[in-house]
Amino acid sequence: DTGVSQNPRHKITKRGQNVTFRCDPISEHNRLYWYRQTLGQGPEFLTYFQNEAQLEKSRLLSDRFSAERPKGSFSTLEIQRTEQGDSAMYLCASTKQGNYGYTFGSGTRLTVV
């Protein structure tokens, strides 16, 4: 297993379009997280899953955002009706249950034009 994989690496979309990102975590990690990072800021928590259950969503996550992890393996993050303010790096991370540090994927850079 080579780590956390995210696809696509880059996405440019027009305002109002829907986009979907995928994250494949490290196989033995049962926790999966989505974060968003803008230039000059630290990652902001969006949501996380333990196995297939979505246990927490940030108040930052508007109704246009939805995430799934249907079989407790890979996860998708969908943004509907994208806005320019959604432009950011979307980071996925995974970890084992417990107090361990994350392993991050390479991220998906979204640009909304």
Partner 1 sequence: QKEVEQNSGPLSVPEGAIASLNCTYSDRGSQSFFWYRQYSGKSPELIMFIYSNGDKEDGRFTAQLNKASQYVSLLIRDSQPSDSATYLCAVNRDGQNFVFGPGTRLSVLP
Which residues contact partner 1 (rule: CB under 8 A)? 33, 35, 40-45, 48, 55-56, 89, 91, 98-99, 101-107
Amino acid, res. 16:
G
Q: Residue 6 half-sphere exposure, CB side, CA atoms within 13 Å?
A: 24
Shortest distance, position 99 Cβ to partner 1, whole Å? 5
Strand partners, 91: 35
In the complex, the smallest distance separating the C-beta of residue 50 from partner 1, rounded to whole angstroms, is 8
Measured from the CB atom, is 14 or 59 closer to partner 1?
59
Q: How far is the CB of 69 from partner 1 (least distance, A)?
A: 15
Cβ(102)–Cβ(94) below 8 Å: yes
Smallest distance, partner 1 to C-beta of residue 7, A = 14
17-33 per-residue burial string, b: 16 or more CB within 10 A, e: under 16: eebebebbbbeebbbbb
Name the residue nearer to partner 1 (CB basis): 5 or 80.
5
- Rounded CA-CA distance 98/87 in Å is 32
Judged by beta carbon, residue 12 or residue 55, the one nearer partner 1 is 55
